[in-house]
Amino acid sequence: MGIRLNIARLAGAGATWALKNVFRRSAGNFPGKIGLYADPMLIADLRERLREGSIVVVGTNGKTTVSNLLADTLEADGKTVVCNRTGANLDSGIATALLRTKGADWGVLECDELWLAHVLPQLLPDYVVLLNLFRDQLDRSGEIDHVQGSIVQALQSSPKTTLIYNADDPLCQKVANAVENACIPFGIEQDLGLEQNTVADASMCQQCDSILEYEWHQYGQLGSYRCPSCGFHRMRPILAANDLVSSVEGISLTVQYRDEQTRITTPFTGTYMAYNVLAVCAAAACAGTPIARVNEALLAFDPHNGRLQRYRIDERTVLLNLAKNPTGFNQNLRIILETPGPKAVAFFINDKEADGHDVSWLWDIDFQELAQEDELVAFAGGIRSHDMQVRLKYAGIAAQLVDDAEDFLAKAQAVSPNVSFFLIANYTALPHVKEQLDKLTHLPKPASVSFAERYIEDNAEPNGKTKMHGTKLTIVHMYPELLNLYGDGGNVIVLERRARARGIDVDIVRVEHGQKADLTTADIVFLGGGPDREQHLASIDLLAQTEDFRRYVEDDGVLLAICGGYQMLGQEWLLGDEKVPGLGLANIVTKRAEGGSHNRLVGNIALHSPLASLPVIGYENHAGRTFLGDGCEAFGAVIGHHGKGNNDKDAADGVRFRNIVGTYLHGPLLAKNPEIADWLIERALERKAVKAGLSTQALPPLDDAVERAANAFMCSMLNVHV
C-alpha cells in the first residue's frame, strides 16, 4: 500500500503541475484519475488526512452550491476544509481534492449519485447529505429507482455513516426507509402555496404502487405526503424550517433544531435555495458548528462557479445559473418571473456526454409561464439551440438564436435600457458562458433586433393567417400523470397549437388514473410512456377499456402511442421481466432482449417514413424488442446506422395500422417532425368529415421554418442526407 500510495501522490502532483503550467487547464479530475490508476484504494489511503471527519453531498440538484456553502460555514467556524468546489464529483475529482491537502479538519465532498457506491466503501464518511432526487439524464442514469438503489448500496457499504436527507422528497424518504444507517430528516414545515408545475417526478408510492396524497405541495414531488394504502409517509423533520418569507431580495426562514431557533437570511431567491440552506444547517449542526455560522456564510457567499452567479456590467444586472433537468429549470423560471421590469433571457443547451444526449426533457419544463410576461424577450443558444427554439415556439415565445453570451447581451440590449439579463445554461454549456461573462468589463455594442424578434405576441401561434373556422378537435390525453417520461406530453402541445394556428378549436381531455375515457367523442388519442411502476398502473385501467379502444380503432380513430404506450397496443408486452397482456389493438408483440433491462437501445434515430418527406428524427431509449405481425407496417425504416428501432434486426421502427401510429421515438416525436403532426390532424378531420357527410378540407400550410431548421440540424449532425 505504501509504495502504491507514494506513486499515486507523485503521479497526481505531476499531473497537476503539467495541467496548470503546461496546458493551462483546470486540474479537477485528471490528477485523481492518474492517482487511482496507480493506487485503486487511494481514497481510503488518504481519508486519514481528514482529522475530524468527512461529509459527502449527493442529490440531483444543488450539490455544488451546498458543498461550497457548507465548506464556507465550517471555515467561518475556524475549521480547515478540503472541498471539490468546482463540482468535479466522480471518484477522480474526490481523489484530486484529497491529494491537494496535507491535512484538514473536515472534508466536504460532492459526489455523483451513481459514483457514491464507489466512493463510500473507501471514504467511510461520517455523514451523507441527500438533497433531492429528480429525473436527470435518463439516457445515462436510467430511472430514479436505479439511482435510489445505487445510493442504498453505497450506504450499506458504510454502516456507520449517518444519512441527512430531505424528508419532503418521497424519493429520499424511500432511501432512508431502505437502510439501517442512522438518519436525520430535514424539511419545511409550512405550505408555501406555490403554483404547481405540470410534471412531477413521483406521484406513486414506491412501496405499494398507490397514488400518494399530499397535505401540501412545494414543487416537483416535494411536500407533506402520505400513502393511503400502506402508510408510507413523510417523517417529521428533526431540523425544520418555519416562517419562510420569499421576495425578490431573497428568502428568510426560521430554522428549528432541537430546542434552538435561528433566523436565517439569504440574498438568494428560489424555494430550492431554502432546501439548500436547510441541508447546510443540518450538516453544520452535525459537525458541531453553530447554525448561526450558516447565516454568516450566506451573507458572504459569492459563488464563482456559474451557480446563482451575479454580475454587474455597466450598471446592469446579469444572473447566470445552471439548470440541467425540468425541476431545476422550473425553479429558474420562478426566479425570472419574480424579477420586476423588462427581462431578457437566454437558454443555452448542449447535448454532450455529461449533459445527456436526449433533450426531450425540455418539454417537461413550464416555459408557457414566460409567455404571460409582457416585457420579456427570449433567446436560444448552445449546441441544441434549434431544439430550444422549437420548444419556446410551442410555448408561445418567439426566440431568436444567439451564438454565445456576448451575442445575447448585444442583441438583448435593444429591448430596453433597463433590462435585466438572465443566462440559464445546462452542464457543459455553463463553463463557456461563464468564461465570456468573466471577461466582460463592458457590455458589447448593441445589435439591432427586429420588432417581431423582440415581442412574443407577434409569433404567439405558428401562423395566424390561415384559418379553418367552425372545426373542432377533441384530443384525449391518457394518464398524463403516469405516462410522461421523456417529455412525451409535448406531442399533445404540438397537436393543439398546430390545430389552433389554423383556427381549429381544440378540447384537451386529460384522463387520469381511475377515470374512464369517453372515446365516442375523441378525435385523437395520445398514449405516452412511463416508468414500469406507472405503466403497470395505467395498463390496468387501459385493459378495463379494451373493447372501447377496439371499437375506436375499428372506426378509424386516430391514435398516437409512444414507447411504453406503443408496447401496450400489442398482444403482450413486458413489465420488468414479466409478460403482461396488451390491448391487442395491433398485431405486435414485445419481448425482452438478452441481458434484460440493461440491454437497451439508446440514442438518436432517423427514419424514412411514408408519412413525411423529411427524415423523421427522434431519440430512442428502450429495453423491449418489438416484432410486427401480419397486417402491420413499420412507421419508418431506420436510415443507415442511426438507431435500431423495434429490435436489433429489422432496421425499422414503430407500427402503422389503420389510423394508429406507434413508435419508440421521443423528442417529443412531433416537435421536429411537423409533417407527422399534420398527418394525424388530417386523418382526424377526414374521419369527422366522413361521419358528417362533408367534404374534407386540406390543411393550410404553416410556417415551419423553426421546426425544419431543427430537423435539418439533427440530419446534419447524424450525417443523414435529405
Residue 666 annotated among the catalytic residues of the structure: yes
Q: Please choose, from the candidates 171, 166, 180, 191, the residue with its C-alpha nearest in 3D space to the C-alpha of residue 242.
A: 191
List, for residues 689-698, the tens digit of each pLDDT value. 999 999 888 9
In this predicted structure, what is the pLDDT of residue 10?
54
List, for residues 600-643, the tens digit of each pLDDT value. 999 999 999 999 999 999 999 998 999 999 999 999 999 988 89
Q: How far is CA 531 from the centre of its chain?
A: 15
In this predicted structure, what is the pLDDT of residue 704?
98
CATH number for domain 309-459, candidates 3.90.190, 1.10.3470, 3.90.380, 1.10.240: 3.90.190
In this predicted structure, what is the pLDDT of residue 579?
83
Torsion angle, alpha carbons of 185, 189, 194, 198, to 10 = 30
In this predicted structure, what is the pLDDT of residue 7?
56
Q: Distances from the Cα of 292 to the Cαs of 73, 140, 266, 302, 407, in angstroms?
A: 9, 39, 12, 18, 43
Fold of 472-717: Rossmann fold (3.40.50)
Report the SS3 class of residue 477: strand
In this predicted structure, what is the pLDDT of residue 640?
85
Q: Please choose, from the candidates 678, 689, 315, 284, the residue with its C-alpha nearest in 3D space to the C-alpha of residue 470.
A: 689
Catalytic residue among 217, 386, 642, 666: 666
Within this chain, domains 41-300 and 472-717 share the same CATH topology: no
Please, what is the Cα angle at 220 between 215 and 224, to 5 degrees?
Answer: 20
Low-confidence ranges of the chain (pLDDT < 50): 14-15, 17-19, 21-24, 27, 451-465
Which residues lie below 8 Å from residue 10, measured CB to CB, with a gap of 6+?
none
Type and span of the H or E element at 378? strand 376-381
Q: Distances from the Cα of 339 to the Cαs of 196, 333, 368, 434, in angstroms?
A: 19, 10, 17, 21
Parallel/antiparallel/unpaired status of strands 572-575 and 558-562:
unpaired
pTM above 0.75, yes or no: yes
**DSSP codes joined into one string, 20-48:** HHTS----SSHHHHHHHHH-TTHHHHHGG
Q: Which CATH class is domain 41-300?
A: alpha beta
> What are the boundaries of each domain within the chain?
1-40, 41-300, 309-459, 472-717
Residue 357 annotated among the catalytic residues of the structure: no
First to last CA, the chain: 59
**Grid cell for residue 394:** 410551442
Catalytic residue among 205, 563, 632, 715: 563
In this predicted structure, what is the pLDDT of residue 138?
58
In this predicted structure, what is the pLDDT of residue 335?
92
Rounded to whole angstroms, how far apart are CA atoms 700 and 270? 44
Please, what is the Cα angle at 116 between 113 and 117, to 5 degrees?
Answer: 125
